[in-house]
Structure 1
Amino acid sequence: MNEPEAVDDLIADLPEWATTEEIADTMRVKPQTVLKWNKEYGLKTVAVGTRVRRYRKKDFREFLLRSAEATD
């Protein structure tokens, strides 16, 4: 399991509702990777229309905390 304090430090500058690009920048991955996390690994998102997605900061935090468990 990832340490909650480390995760909190990592996402400290994210807004409460982040874009795909903001999540990708934070994690230093491509936006396509974030979309894959949504589709294949259950990262929660809220869709506004067909092109706009937002990720709630608390949901992203939970995803990061759980993601280490999947690789253990």
Structure 2
Amino acid sequence: MNDPDAIEALLEDAPEVMTTEELADLLKVKPATVARWSRDFGLKSVSIGFRLKRFTKKNVREFLAHSDELSDNTTGEVSDG
């Protein structure tokens, strides 16, 4: 499991609800990576319209806490795509 204190520090100043782009900026990955994590690895989102998703701090926290347990079928790692 990832370090809960590090996760809290990362999310401390983040808004309660984030767009794909905001979350990608926070995690220093591409928006396509966030979309893939949502689609393929269980990062939960809230749909607010056609192709519009938002990510809550709670769901991001849960995903990050367990992200080291996830693996990409091709490389064995979760990457920033």
Q: TM-score, structure 1 length as denominator?
A: 0.92
Q: CA RMSD in A?
A: 1.0
- Gapped regions of structure 1 (runs ≥ 5): none
In structure 2, what residue type is equivalent to 1:33?
T
Structure with the higher helix share, 1 or 2: 1
What SS does the corresponding residue of 2:5 show, helix, strand or coil? helix
The structure having more radius of gyration, on CA atoms, is 2
Q: Distance in 2 between matches of 1:53 and 1:66?
A: 21
Q: Which has the higher contact order (CA 8 A, sep 6+)?
A: 1
2:24: which partner in 1?
Answer: 24
Q: CA deviation at 1:46?
A: 0.6
- Gapped regions of structure 2 (runs ≥ 5): 72-81
Q: TM-score, structure 2 length as denominator?
A: 0.82
